[in-house]
Amino acid sequence: MTTARIYQRPKNAMQSGRARTHEWVLEFVPSDRVRPDPLTGWAGSGDTQKQVILGFPTLEAAQGYAEREGIAYRVIAAAAPKLKLQSYADNFR
């Protein structure tokens, strides 16, 4: 049986926008370890489920899909954002 994790997309650290951070993602947990290819040295495995990433508008929709398809899942809660409050004058101290 496959297992999956459901989480909310984090904000991209390289951009200031919050696009697609409201989406919930269902991603399968890898069932096979990654090993290097003997010819090229690239990392790979026989697990094709790790290529499947499904997006949902709400947590309930993602949980409903997993239950309907018989997929065991766990929900990973989003970390609380840490705000670093400082004034502009703090840049010159």
Residue 1 pLDDT more than 70? Answer: no
Strands 43-44 and 3-8, by their bridges, are unpaired
Per-position b or e across 24-40, b if 16+ CB within 10 A of its CB: bbbbbeeeeeeeeeeee
Residue 46 pLDDT more than 90? Answer: no
Residue 16 pLDDT more than 90? Answer: no
Measured CA to CA, the distance from residue 75 to residue 62 in angstroms comes to: 10
Residue 42 pLDDT more than 80? Answer: yes
pLDDT recorded at residue 60? 96
Measured CA to CA, the distance from residue 47 to residue 54 in angstroms comes to: 17
pLDDT recorded at residue 24? 96
* Whether this model's pTM surpasses 0.85: no
52-89 pLDDT, tens per residue? 999 999 999 999 999 999 999 999 998 887 888 888 88
39 — phi, psi (to 5°)?
-85, -50
Asked if 18 contacts 65 with a C-beta cutoff of 8 angstroms, the reply is: no
Measured CA to CA, the distance from residue 7 to residue 2 in angstroms comes to: 17
